[in-house]
Amino acid sequence: MPHFGLMNERKMGPVEGPLLRARLHMRGGKRRLRQGKISAGIVTLYDALEAAMQAYISDPVRKAGLSLRHGDDLNNERIVYTVLVRSRVLDGMFDFDEFDRLTERALREEMPEFDYRPILSGLENVMTRLGVMPFDEASLPAEDPATF
C-alpha cells in the first residue's frame, strides 16, 4: 500500500494517522489509475475512504456532532458511511454500496477497460467533505514508486 514505510500510523494517533493514510492512498490510488492499474487503484481508493471516515469519527469534536444511534458499530465502514450521511456530513450522493461492490470485483479481477472517472469524481467530493482534500502534495512524504 502507498503508506508503507512513509508513516507510523499508530504513533500519529487516531485522527492524524488515518488522515495522512487517506491522503497518501488518494495520491497513490489516482497514480495507479493513471498507470492503467485499475483494480489496484480502486482497492487503494477504498482504503483511503475507510481511513478518511475513521479519521473523521475519531475527532472528539466531530464525533460529538454526529447523529449516533444505539448499536451503531463505528468499526463497520458501511455503518460509518450511513452515520455520516444521517448526520449531514455527507450528502449521500456517493453510492457507497456500489463502490463496495466495485472494490470486491477489483479484488477478484483486473478491469483494464473500466471507466473509473465517475467513481473518482464522487469519491473526491466525499474526501473534500471529510476534510481530506484538498491537500498540498508537497506536504506529503515522497512517494516510493516501488510501492506497486
Q: What confidence tens digit (pLDDT) does each residue in 53-92 have?
A: 999 999 999 999 999 999 999 999 999 999 999 999 999 9
Domain of residue 29: give its range: 9-130
In a domain? residue 18: yes
In a domain? residue 108: yes
Could you give phi then psi for residue 131, rounded to 5 degrees?
85, 10
> 44: closest CA among 95, 1, 96?
1
Radius of gyration of the chain (CA): 15
pLDDT band at 100 (very low <50, low <70, confident <90, very high): very high
In a domain? residue 117: yes
Number of structural domains (the chain) is 1
- Identify the pLDDT of residue 14: 72
pLDDT per position as a tens digit, 4-40 = 555 555 665 678 899 999 999 999 999 999 999 999 9
DSSP letters for 18-67:
HHHHHHHHHHHHHHHHHTT-HHHHHHHHHHHHHHHHHHHHHSHHHHHTS-
- Identify the pLDDT of residue 116: 96
Q: Which helix (H) or strand (E) holds 128?
A: helix 117-129
In a domain? residue 88: yes
pLDDT band at 2 (very low <50, low <70, confident <90, very high): very low
- Identify the pLDDT of residue 16: 87
- Identify the pLDDT of residue 1: 45
Angle at 44 between CA 121 and CA 60, to 5 degrees: 80
Rounded Cα distance between 87 and 33, Å, is 31
In a domain? residue 85: yes
In a domain? residue 146: no
In a domain? residue 25: yes
In a domain? residue 147: no
